[in-house]
Structure 1
């Protein structure tokens, strides 16, 4: 049995919260945009690429754990059979793995393409200078 400190599901929940915070911080139309410079964009893309790169392994671990629970006979279902639900869930997780790999590839291409970009627009006024 998992405890609040050992429950591994808390980690993707934290990642989801962090993504929500990023989305709120980067809303378009702000007086001072959070994504005002190419370096910030480059770093964000790189971080998302790292996250996407790690998803297939995490999804594989979930699929293997679910299959092990099923094989051991430790699953029940409110409707249908455990086999039906396990088969569907594992197939969907395998599809998600493939899509996460494609997402990683696309983000790595975006990261490489944004690497040489620099900023040449106006610099904000700094009252301390």
Structure 2
């Protein structure tokens, strides 16, 4: 598969992988999303490994070919281990894939990447 254009993608900046977060509070999950030739129109965040999704708050105006910052207020649950993920959709309706495209070799890593966190009291 030739690399022709940047694929739609969202990435979590905070929390970091393996971060410990306080239970029963609020945590601002945030990151950036990008795509080529279009604008980011939606970012969703999952706090249960992709079983359910909530819409993030997009920052700034939608601009083609530009990064878009986002944030998601997570009401942290009871203590335990959780997997956070983010996925983006662009203004053409293209959504970030959940699975890695095995035909892409070691490039075009644009699938949803898990961020594992531990919630403690």
- Name the TM-score, length of structure 2 as normaliser: 0.18
User: Which has a greater percent of strand?
Assistant: 2
User: Which has a greater percent of helix?
Assistant: 1
- Name the TM-score, length of structure 1 as normaliser: 0.18
